[in-house]
Amino acid sequence: MTPERGRPLLRSYPSAMEPDRVRTHPNGAAAGIVLHLAPHPDDELIGAPATLMALRDAGWTVVNVPCSLGRPKARARREAELHEACGLAGFELRVPERPVSISPDCDPEVAQAELTELAAGAIADVKPRIVVSPGPGDRHHGHHMVYLATRDAIRDLAPEPPRWWMWALWGSLPQPTLGTVFDDSRLTEILVALAAHRGEVGRNDYRKLVRARAEVNALLAPELLFGFGAAGVQGARYAELLTEAALVDRRWLLGRSRWLDPREPLCDPGDGQALFE
Ligand SMILES: [Zn+2]
């Protein structure tokens, strides 16, 4: 579960950050670190980018780690695009020295073990208060593998495991608990950064997906979070949905249903119901 002795797990990209995008909390201190474990380059701007950017604006450092870089012949291009995208998004980028192959023809047992090692190593390295990753309900095999790896990596941490926020792209989260509302300027910011992934956007224009899903979620989120019949948020054009899990006494608890307040993003899960049991 630990990286090879003396060999760095992650390669930093400090130059990816544009100086004017590094923000601090109003009190001058950094609020904390949120680690995004992305199955692929581009997921950092498709999975839950409005949530990550809201935390960034509240003074959090967003560190994105791509678990894979796609097929070997495309890796250099995808890493270069990712570097540009993270710079535009104001996210730090750390690339694994040994990205994991999560293609359909990989050995699933070997890949799962490597992913769990990578997730555990990244958490140990970055020391986040929040980890964001795919969650249950995502039907992409690589996304599902990163979900399982993140779950196992957090579960084996002690004594203060980070809070876990999950998104789903190729499917629906079974138990969404956390919603992030955003506006046109945030959507534009996301789409401009996502466009740096020229190869992926050229293959399939995920910008349309991000916009359409956010519009749909603005209507679904109030009722999925607070019960059918709940009123929508006035003026909310776009939203993201996540599931929050907290590991308490080695039990996974579901977070409270709520809208994200980026200034107070963490709250007690209270009597949250059990997850994964
Ligand atoms: Zn992906």
What's the CA-to-centroid distance between 149 and ligand 1, angstroms?
Answer: 15
> Span 10-259: which CATH code?
3.40.50.10320
Spacing, Cα 102 to ligand 1 middle (Å): 10
For the chain (277 residues), the mean pLDDT of every run of 10, in chain order, is 57 55 48 95 98 97 95 92 97 92 86 95 94 95 96 87 96 95 97 97 96 97 94 90 93 94 89 70
Q: Which of 43, 48, 35 is nearest to 121 (CA)?
A: 35
User: What pLDDT sits at residue 207?
Assistant: 97
Long-range CB contacts (within 8 A, 24+) of 226-233 = 226/257, 233/181, 233/259
- The two structure tokens encoding residue 162: 């980070």
Between the CA of 141 and the centroid of ligand 1 the distance, in Å, is 9
The tokens describing 83, both together, are 């570097």
**Helices in the chain by DSSP H: which ranges?**
49-57, 75-89, 108-126, 141-155, 184-194, 198-203, 206-226
Residue with token string 């919603």 = 179
Cα 43 to ligand 1 centre (Å): 5
* CA 265 – ligand 1 centroid, Å: 25
206-261, pLDDT tens digit by residue?
999 999 999 999 999 999 999 999 988 888 899 999 999 999 888 899 999 999 99
What residues does the ion ligand 1 have nearby, CB within 5 Å? Answer: 39-40, 43
Q: Give this prediction's pTM.
A: 0.91
User: How far is ligand 1, taken at its centre, from the CA of residue 71, in Å?
Assistant: 13
* Ligand 1 geometric centre to CA of 231 (Å): 32
**174 burial level (CB within 10 Å; 0-12, 13-18, 19+):** exposed
